[in-house]
């Protein structure tokens, strides 16, 4: 670790932290907002500048923070020449784009949002280029897909923007998915997910049998990102974004991510036939195709978009050639492409901004109207064409040089000819850009009278144009060292011989270049007839195909979902039960069952009676379930018998829970049944009932067999551990409660959350029920026949009032002693809810509700929060989540009770249970009132004491 | 153990058993719901009461300690049994009886089931 290494993570995190600022600073005005957006970028750039000298000397700066070491994921960063080049480009361009966007965006665009997205994207890109861990790289990779989605779709009101953003996300996200697979394979081969390790294992990786799958998957990721054929179609559609976004994404960052990855992986993956043929061929096709389409595009930005596709193809081809010279040329061209393409995009944006159109056919003669913009655009377009004295010329010469020596499938001609063709076409569209937009006569039918924009707007492209010239004239002085160190990082060893200068003498490349320029001029002169031919020719429309594909896959997944998930809960249950029984049967068949070690116990008479009751009640439920009230009574019987069973088997906690759950359930079900039909109609045919019967019997037999198998054998369970550690580890003698709040506290925490969600879901269902067709049925049903005049009888009201304090005391008692004796938060919650339920039943919900001030929603929330905070409190003591601490409290008057973190946790459980039950009751009450139930003013229908009082007041 | 105490406890248990049996038999024997209501609420309550007295005696005389549980159970039994019966009767009337079937209350107000409660103002 060198001294500067600690700066790397800070550089990586800065844009993300900075992304919080623009949203706030926009209140201070647009200029302030832009300034504060620039601040983190400048800061990061300065830090990069601090690190740069070391990197230029050939050092590699590394920083490592463990994140999830078990997965091999660490937040480790490293900065070598390639990383420095890209980081510099991303940050520098980010700065220029910030400036440009300040003037480009109109007053109606939410600028704070734009800058936030921009910084997020910048952070993601920066992360890619300085990640050392490939898993971390994948995270940043996906982040670029997501943030570019936000940026491309920034103009949400434009359908093109939304569609373009979706398309970009689908294509690059899909590619990212493939890349995850490729990277994992790569990491597996190398035995490490650290790039620095992987880069040293090139030979092992190339020799591995998994090399080809990994290569293809990674290439899919890189090609989708870099818009290589056949994935190139998303890039032109992404042009619906504001121009600053296009300039940033498509010159320096997003699309270069794929190229960066190819360059990064170059030492590891290149040098094989597969690499050469896949990568260079794709690059060549993309280069020629992109340039060809670009010539016939009338939209300025579309022309530039396809020229970007073409140049990315060029870069891909160079990296695909596999020679060190070509790789260094690629690095050089990355710099050149950035300078001229970003400036061109910005100029196109200026033209659009001033003339209110980007249609080349409506433009022309702008050189006289906006000389500064024209100068910038012409300089950079000449560079794009590859004219001497501009930087594009240098890298194009070197590219042609590299191409001229390449043999493709035994042919010496294919690559040089195609490369020359690509160069020729690129000359053609560059010249078209210059002559059809800026040259020619001044027209009088521009949608808006164009003139040069303010300085702030042309400063950024002007700055880049100066660079284009400087690099073009003095390449070795300006970028020589950077190309050397970045190229060295790509090729991973000795640099090949190359020279950055304008005149190399008359060689093959120069001849090819001259052919390209002459041919390009011819194409430009013939543009009109060629354009007519092109427009008439049938072409596949990528967007139509893409939309058809997306629709088809949406239809397919819809079909699968509808068939698997059709809303019939009996179907899910049937599938689940049959699958479980089948699996259990397979396990029983497969494994040998040890012989039974425990003898059968005698059956006492009392137990036999209970068993008969249980069985009879169960059978009756099955036969009588169509009569709902009777079935409910029988379910109550079953519940009571189960509780008795728990008591008999010495499980008082479970018995208490069972009884209280049973009571609450039956009460709520009774209330709900009021609004439902009293009978279940016979709906399913006989064969289905038979089928269901067979499934049920099969499952029952299987469960019985399983229970018997366990009960008749000795086996060691976790119970022994719980019994041994309950008091020493959890501070409680009630093992059940200690398990709930301590050993399995996480489970309980999850369960109370689920319970809370269930309560809220019932509430939500009730709300939607009261707005749907069911609400109309409810309103139209006449319940008056069932309704007594005597809804709140005196006797019931008085008795429940008297019971209330007793029940509450019982609840508190059960709650307090829970840790050591049967009880606990769950049971206490149920007991208190029963106490309250009684009040609600006696005097009506609305009357009772008006007398308490606690929101049940909030109670659920507080319960979860209290339990969660209790668990988190363990962190303060440096222990894991939910570790309990405990002590004992001896208040005078009542027996000693344990007070620990478990106690607070139990309080959370208590609150959630109470809140959920009461919310369910509240939901039912809402339905009742909707169905026409009136709200009573008095607690009971007839209050004799009032009558006595009235008689006394009124006199005899 | 005191033979007398044992006898008394046994007597209570036997008597309560008889009451319980009668109550359960009444459920089958009696025809109308309103008649049947008497069996569990009266006979069976008495039966349970007998068991409770036996239990208290057992704890006082034999174990030498006083047990509160039975008192509480008695309290709850006396509270719940009448209210339950009252509710069952009300529900039955609501579902099966018309106002005209019921005898007159011979007051200014009809049955609570069908008539609103009297207002707070004294009768005219």
Task: Please list the alpha-helical segments (H only) found in A356-390.
Answer: 366-369, 371-385
Q: Give the C-alpha separation, A473 to A77, whole Å.
A: 36
Confidence of residue A893 (pLDDT cuts 50, 70, 90): low
**pTM of the predicted structure, to 2 decimals:** 0.69
CB–CB of A347/A363 below 8 Å? no
Q: Is the pLDDT of residue A470 over 80?
A: yes
Q: Mean pLDDT, to the nearest integer, of A711-738?
A: 80
Q: Is the pLDDT of residue B31 over 80?
A: yes
Q: Is the pLDDT of residue A547 over 80?
A: yes
Q: Give the C-alpha separation, A638 to A620, whole Å.
A: 10
Q: Give the C-alpha separation, B93 to B115, whole Å.
A: 13
Contacts of residue B97, Cβ cutoff 8 Å, sequence gap at least 6: none
- How far off is chain B from A788, nearest CA to CA, in Å? 6
Between the alpha carbon of residue A307 and those of residues A246, A427, A533, the distances in Å are 13, 10, 20
Q: Mean pLDDT, to the nearest integer, of A853-869?
A: 88
Q: Mean pLDDT, to the nearest integer, of A133-152?
A: 91
Helical (H) or strand (E) element with A73: strand A73-79
Q: Mean pLDDT, to the nearest integer, of A672-685?
A: 84
pLDDT at residue number B1: 60
- How far off is chain A from B110, nearest CA to CA, in Å? 11
Q: Is the pLDDT of residue A587 over 60?
A: yes
Q: Give the C-alpha separation, A279 to A315, whole Å.
A: 10
pLDDT at residue number A110: 85
CB contact under 8 A, A790 and B90: yes
**Contact B112/A at CB under 8 A:** yes
Greatest mean pLDDT among A305-309, A735-739, A951-955, B33-37 lies in A305-309
Question: Which is nearest to A329 in space by CA: A247, A266, A246?
Answer: A266
pLDDT in tens, A823-843: 888 899 999 998 888 888 888
**Contact A729/B at CB under 8 A:** no
Task: Please list the alpha-helical segments (H only) found in A19-110.
Answer: 20-25, 30-56, 81-104
- % of chain B at pLDDT higher than 70: 93
Q: Mean pLDDT, to the nearest integer, of A468-484?
A: 85
Q: Mean pLDDT, to the nearest integer, of A381-395?
A: 87
Q: Is the pLDDT of residue A557 over 90?
A: yes
pLDDT at residue number A956: 46
pLDDT in tens, A603-614: 899 899 999 999
Which of A795, A802, A941 is nearest residue B117 as measured by Cβ atoms?
Answer: A941
Domain residue limits, chain A: 606-715, 735-956
Mutate: best of A799, A941, A947, A955, partner B, most B CBs <10 A: A947
Q: Which position has the higher pLDDT, A157 or A716?
A: A157
Q: Is the pLDDT of residue A356 over 80?
A: yes
Average confidence score pLDDT of chain A: 86
Handedness of CA A752, A754, A760, A762 (dihedral sign): negative
Q: Is the pLDDT of residue A71 over 90?
A: no
Question: Which is nearest to A452 in space by CA: A161, A851, A103?
Answer: A103
Q: Give the C-alpha separation, A101 to A354, whole Å.
A: 15
**Contact B102/A at CB under 8 A:** no
Q: Mean pLDDT, to the nearest integer, of B63-74?
A: 85
Which of A789, A802, A803 is nearest residue B115 as measured by Cβ atoms?
Answer: A789
Q: Mean pLDDT, to the nearest integer, of A537-553?
A: 86
Domain residue limits, chain B: 3-96
**Contact B71/A at CB under 8 A:** no
pLDDT at residue number A898: 58
Q: Is the pLDDT of residue A780 over 70?
A: yes
Q: Give the C-alpha separation, A180 to A197, whole Å.
A: 18
Q: Is the pLDDT of residue A108 over 90?
A: no
What ipTM did this prediction achieve?
0.84
Q: Which position has the higher pLDDT, A180 or A451?
A: A180
Q: Is the pLDDT of residue A714 over 70?
A: yes
pLDDT at residue number A1: 44
Task: Name chain A contacts of B82, Cβ cutoff 8 Å.
Answer: 795
Question: Residue by residue, what is the 3-state secondary structure of A477-517?
Answer: HHCHHHHHHHHHHHHCCCCCCCCCCCCCCCCHHHHHHHHHH
- Among A149-153, A186-190, A660-664, A875-879, the least confident range: A875-879
Which of B114, B116, B122 is nearest residue A951 as measured by Cβ atoms?
Answer: B122
pLDDT at residue number B123: 47
pLDDT in tens, A256-277: 889 999 998 888 888 888 889 9
């Amino acid at each position: 670790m060198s001294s500067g290494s600690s700066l790397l993570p800070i550089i990586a995190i800065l844009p993300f932290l900075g992304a919080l600022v623009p949203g706030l600073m926009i209140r201070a005005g647009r200029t302030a907002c832009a300034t504060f957006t620039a601040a983190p970028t400048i800061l990061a750039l300065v830090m990069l500048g601090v690190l740069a000298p070391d990197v230029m000397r050939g050092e590699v700066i590394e920083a490592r923070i463990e994140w999830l070491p078990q997965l091999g994921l660490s937040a480790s960063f490293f900065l070598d020449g390639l990383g420095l080049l890209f980081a510099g480009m991303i940050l520098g361009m980010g700065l220029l784009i910030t400036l440009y966007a300040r003037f480009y965006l109109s007053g109606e665009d939410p600028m704070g949002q734009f800058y936030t997205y921009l910084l997020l994207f910048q952070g993601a890109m920066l992360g890619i280029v300085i990640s050392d861990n490939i898993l971390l790289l994948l995270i940043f990779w996906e982040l670029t897909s997501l943030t570019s989605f936000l940026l491309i779709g920034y103009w949400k009101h434009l359908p093109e923007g939304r569609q373009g953003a979706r398309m970009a996300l689908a294509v690059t996200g899909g590619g990212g998915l493939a890349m995850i697979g490729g990277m994992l394979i790569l990491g597996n081969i190398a035995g490490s997910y650290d790039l620095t390790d992987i880069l040293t294992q090139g030979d092992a990786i190339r020799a591995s049998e998994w090399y080809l799958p990994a290569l293809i998957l990674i290439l899919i990721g890189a090609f989708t990102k870099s818009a290589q054929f056949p994935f190139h179609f998303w890039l032109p559609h992404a042009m619906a974004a504001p121009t600053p976004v296009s300039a940033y994404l498509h010159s320096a960052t997003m699309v270069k991510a794929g190229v960066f990855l190819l360059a990064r992986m170059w030492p590891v993956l290149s040098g094989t036939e597969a690499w050469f043929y896949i990568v260079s061929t794709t690059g060549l096709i993309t280069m020629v195709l992109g340039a060809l389409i670009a010539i016939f595009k009338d939209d300025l930005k579309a022309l530039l978009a396809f020229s970007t596709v073409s140049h990315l193809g060029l870069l891909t081809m160079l990296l695909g050639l596999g020679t060190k010279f070509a790789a260094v040329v690629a690095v050089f061209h990355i710099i050149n492409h950035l300078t001229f393409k970003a400036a061109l995009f910005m100029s196109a944006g200026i033209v659009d901004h001033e003339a209110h159109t980007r249609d080349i056919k409506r433009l022309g003669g702008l050189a006289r109207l906006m000389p500064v913009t024209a100068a910038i655009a012409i300089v950079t377009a000449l560079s794009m064409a590859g004219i001497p004295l501009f930087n594009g010329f240098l890298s194009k010469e070197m590219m042609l040089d590299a191409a001229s020596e390449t043999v493709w499938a035994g042919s010496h001609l294919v690559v040089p000819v195609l490369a020359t063709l690509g160069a020729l076409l690129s000359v053609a569209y560059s010249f078209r850009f210059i002559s059809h937009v800026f040259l020619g006569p001044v027209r009088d039918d521009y949608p808006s009278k164009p003139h040069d924009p303010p300085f702030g707007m042309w400063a950024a492209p002007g700055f880049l144009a100066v660079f284009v010239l400087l690099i073009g004239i003095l390449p070795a002085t300006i970028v020589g060292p950077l190309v050397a160190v970045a190229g060295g990082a790509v090729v991973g060893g000795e640099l090949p011989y190359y020279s950055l200068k304008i005149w190399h003498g008359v060689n093959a490349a120069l001849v090819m270049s001259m052919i390209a320029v002459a041919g390009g001029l011819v194409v430009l002169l013939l543009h009109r007839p060629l354009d007519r031919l092109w427009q008439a020719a049938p072409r596949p429309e990528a967007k139509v195909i893409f939309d058809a594909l997306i629709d088809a896959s949406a239809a397919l997944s819809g079909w699968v979902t509808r068939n698997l998930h059709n809303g019939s809960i009996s179907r899910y249950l049937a599938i689940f039960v049959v699958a479980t029984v089948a699996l259990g049967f397979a396990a029983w068949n497969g494994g040998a069952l040890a012989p039974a070690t425990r003898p059968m116990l005698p059956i006492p008479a009392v137990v036999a009676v209970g068993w008969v009751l249980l069985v009879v009640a169960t059978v009756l439920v099955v036969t009588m379930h169509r009569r709902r009230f009777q079935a409910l009574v029988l379910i109550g019987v079953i519940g009571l018998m189960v509780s008795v069973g728990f008591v008999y088997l010495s499980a008082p906690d479970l018995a208490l829970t069972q009884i209280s759950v049973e009571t609450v359930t039956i009460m709520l079900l009774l209330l709900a049944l009021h609004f439902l039909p009293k009978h279940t109609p016979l709906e399913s045919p006989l064969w289905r009932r038979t089928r269901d019967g067979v499934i049920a019997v099969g499952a029952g037999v299987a469960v019985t067999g399983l229970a018997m198998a366990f009960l008749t054998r000795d086996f060691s369970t976790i119970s022994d551990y719980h019994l041994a550690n309950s008091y020493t580890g959890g501070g409680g003698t009630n093992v059940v409660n200690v398990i709930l709040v301590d050993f399995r506290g996480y489970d309980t925490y999850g369960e109370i959350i689920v319970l809370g969600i269930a309560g809220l879901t019932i509430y939500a269902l009730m709300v939607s029920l009261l707005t749907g067709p069911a609400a109309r049925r409810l309103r139209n049903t006449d319940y008056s026949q069932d309704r007594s005049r005597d809804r709140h009888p005196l006797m019931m009201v008085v008795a429940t009032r008297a019971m209330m304090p007793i029940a509450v005391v019982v609840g508190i008692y059960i709650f307090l002693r829970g840790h050591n004796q049967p009880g606990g938060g769950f049971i206490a919650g149920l007991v208190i809810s029963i106490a309250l339920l009684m009040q609600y039943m006696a005097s009506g919900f609305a009357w009772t509700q008006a007398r308490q001030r606690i929101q049940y929603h909030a109670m659920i929330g507080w319960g979860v929060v209290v339990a969660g905070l209790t668990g988190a409190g363990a962190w303060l003591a440096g222990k894991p989540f939910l570790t309990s601490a405990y002590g004992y409290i001896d208040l005078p008057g009542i027996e000693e009770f344990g007070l620990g973190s478990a106690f607070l946790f139990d309080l959370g459980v208590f609150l959630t249970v109470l809140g959920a039950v009461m919310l369910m009751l509240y939901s039912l009450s809402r339905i009742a009132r909707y169905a026409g139930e009136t709200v009573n003013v008095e607690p009971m229908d007839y209050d004799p004491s009032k009558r006595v009082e009235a008689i006394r007041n009124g006199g005899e | 153990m005191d033979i007398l105490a044992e006898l008394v406890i046994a007597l209570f248990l036997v008597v309560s058993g008889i009451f319980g049996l009668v109550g359960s038999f009444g459920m089958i024997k009696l025809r109308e719901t309103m008649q049947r209501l008497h069996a569990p609420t009266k006979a069976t309550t008495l039966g349970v009461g007998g068991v409770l007295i036996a239990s208290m005696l057992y704890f006082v005389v034999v174990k030498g300690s006083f047990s509160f549980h039975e008192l509480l159970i008695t309290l709850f039994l006396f509270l719940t049994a009448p209210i339950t019966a009252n509710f069952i009767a009300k529900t039955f009337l609501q579902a099966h009886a018309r106002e005209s079937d019921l005898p007159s209350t011979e007051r200014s107000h009809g049955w609570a089931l069908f008539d609103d409660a009297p207002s707070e103002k004294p009768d005219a």
